A and B are shown apart, each in its own frame.
Chain A
Amino acid sequence: MDAATTAAMLHALRDPTGVPSHPLIFQVLMVFTWIPHILFVNLTLGSALMALYAFMRRNEPHWQRLSEAMTKVAKVGVSLLVVLGVAPLLFTQTIYDPQWYASNVLSAAWVIGFIFTLTVGYLAWFTFYFKNHGEHAPAWAGWLGAFGLAMFLLDGFIMHVLSYQGLLPDQWFNWYVPHGQVDMSGTVIHAWQAPRFGFYLAMSATLFGIFLMAYADYFRSRPDRPADYLAFARRMGARIAVVGAGAQLVLLLWWLLDVPSHLGMWAHPMSWALMAFIAVLAAAVWLARTGEPGAGYRLMAMGVGMAALVAIFREALRMAYLQPFAYSAIEYKVLWDVPPFVMFLLTLVGVGGLMGGFIITAAYKSGRVQGMYEADATLRRLAVGSLTSTIVWVAAFIGTGIWIWLRNH
Chain B
Amino acid sequence: MPEHLGLYPHWYVPAIGSAWVMGIIGTIHVLASHTSVGASWLFALLETKAVRENKPELMEYIKKYGMFLLVFSYIIGSITGPGIWYSVTVASPRGISGLIHNFVWVWATEWVFFFVEVIGVYALVYLLGKIDPRTHLKLTWSFAVASWATMILIVPILSFMMWPGNERWYETGSTFDAAFNLNYFAHLGVRTAFMFAIAGAVGGILAATMKNREVRIEITRFLSKMGLAGLFLGVVMWLWYLQTLPENARIVMETQMAPKYGPFLAAVLLGTLLYFLWTAWKPLQLRQGVAVAMTVVIALFGLWPEERSRESLRKPYVAGQYIYSNQLFARDVPGKGVTSDLPMIEAKGVLQTHMFVPADLRTVTPENKVRAGEFLTKTLCTNCHSIEPDAKLRALPARFGFSDDPVMVKAYLDGALYHGTVPYMPRLPLPEAEREAMAAYIASLSKGAAPMLAAHDALQQGAH
Contacts and interface: CB of A to CB of B under 8 A. Distances in A.
Contact of B112 (A80, A82, A351, A362): A351
Interface string A313-335: 00000000000000000000101
Contacts of B97: 15, 17, 93, 97, 101
A295 B75 CA distance: 34
Contacts of B359: 180
Interface in A167-209: 172-173, 176-177, 180-182, 184-186
Interface stretch (B119-127, B251-259, B403-411, B421-429): B119-127
A112 B21 contact: yes
Interface string B441-459: 0000000000000000000
B132 interface: yes
Interface stretch (B49-57, B179-187, B205-213, B310-318): B179-187
Contacts of A82: 78-79, 82
B75 A126 contact: yes
B5 interface: yes
Contact of A344 (B8, B75, B109): B109
A391 to B, nearest CB: 6
B325 interface: no
A261 to B, nearest CB: 28
A100 to B, nearest CB: 7
A404 B177 contact: yes
B227 interface: no
Contact of A337 (B76, B132, B174, B358): B174
Nearest to B371: A182
A352 B25 CA distance: 28
A405 B168 CA distance: 11
Contact of A373 (B89, B96, B132, B175): B132
B11 to A, nearest CB: 4
B417 interface: no
A227 interface: no
Interface in B301-356: 329, 333, 335-339, 355-356
B93 interface: yes
B401 interface: no
B165 interface: yes
Contact of A126 (B71, B78, B142, B174): B71
A38 B93 CA distance: 25
A76 interface: yes
A240 to B, nearest CB: 26
A14 B5 CA distance: 11
B119 A123 contact: no
A375 interface: yes
Contact of B142 (A173, A335, A390): A390
Contacts of A372: 129-132
A20 B119 contact: no
Contacts of A373: 130-132
Contacts of A97: 97, 100-101
B135 A400 contact: no
B194 interface: no
Contact of A9 (B75, B90, B184, B355): B355
A366 interface: yes
Nearest to A109: B11
A263 interface: no
Contact of B105 (A105, A340, A374): A340
Nearest to B113: A351
Contacts of B176: 339-340, 400, 404
Contact of B185 (A26, A83, A115, A401): A401
B338 A16 contact: yes
A270 to B, nearest CB: 26
Interface residues of B, number: 99
Contacts of B184: 401, 405
Contacts of B185: 401-402, 405
A339 B4 contact: no
A375 B71 CA distance: 29
Interface in A326-380: 333, 335, 337, 339-341, 343-344, 347-348, 351-352, 355-356, 358-360, 362-363, 366, 372-375, 379-380
Given A15-B101, A184-B10, A373-B130, A352 B112 contact: yes
Given A17-B98, A340-B175, A363 B123 contact: yes
Interface stretch (A84-92, A210-218, A241-249, A274-282): A84-92
A26 B105 CA distance: 10
Contacts of A136: none
Nearest to A348: B112
B118 interface: yes
Interface in B108-152: 108-109, 111-116, 118-120, 122-123, 126-127, 129-132, 134-135, 138-139, 141-142, 145-146, 148-149, 152
Interface stretch (A42-50, A58-66, A252-260, A381-389): A381-389
A386 B338 CA distance: 41
B90 A104 contact: yes
Contact of A404 (B87, B142, B180, B375): B180
A333 B138 CA distance: 44
B80 A390 contact: no
A91 B335 CA distance: 22
A75 to B, nearest CB: 9
A352 B71 CA distance: 24
Given A15-B98, A362-B123, A375-B131, A118 B9 contact: no
A181 B356 CA distance: 11
Given A362-B127, A387-B142, A335 B336 contact: yes
A114 B108 contact: no
Interface in A281-304: none
Contact of B86 (A29, A76, A104, A185): A104
B241 interface: no
Contacts of B238: none
Contact of A380 (B6, B120, B135): B135
A184 B357 CA distance: 12
A305 interface: no
B148 A123 contact: no
B166 interface: yes
Contacts of A390: 142, 145-146, 149
Closest 7 CB pairs of A and B: A340-B105, A108-B90, A115-B83, A17-B101, A101-B93, A12-B4, A108-B11
12 contacts: A12-B5, A14-B6, A20-B104, A20-B175, A86-B111, A90-B108, A108-B11, A119-B80, A359-B123, A375-B135, A380-B135, A394-B148
Given A16-B329, A17-B338, A102-B8, 15 more contacts: A8-B4, A16-B338, A17-B102, A79-B75, A93-B97, A172-B9, A184-B9, A355-B142, A356-B115, A359-B116, A359-B120, A362-B131, A372-B130, A372-B132, A373-B131
Interface of B: 2-6, 8-12, 18, 21, 25, 71, 74-76, 78-83, 85-87, 89-91, 93-94, 96-98, 100-102, 104-109, 111-116, 118-120, 122-123, 126-127, 129-132, 134-135, 138-139, 141-142, 145-146, 148-149, 152-153, 165-166, 168, 173-177, 179-180, 182, 184-185, 329, 333, 335-339, 355-356, 358-360, 375, 378
Interface of A: 8-9, 12-21, 26, 29, 76, 78-80, 82-87, 89-91, 93-94, 97, 100-102, 104-106, 108-109, 111-112, 114-115, 118-119, 122-123, 126, 172-173, 176-177, 180-182, 184-186, 333, 335, 337, 339-341, 343-344, 347-348, 351-352, 355-356, 358-360, 362-363, 366, 372-375, 379-380, 383-384, 386-387, 390-391, 393-394, 397-398, 400-402, 404-405, 408-409
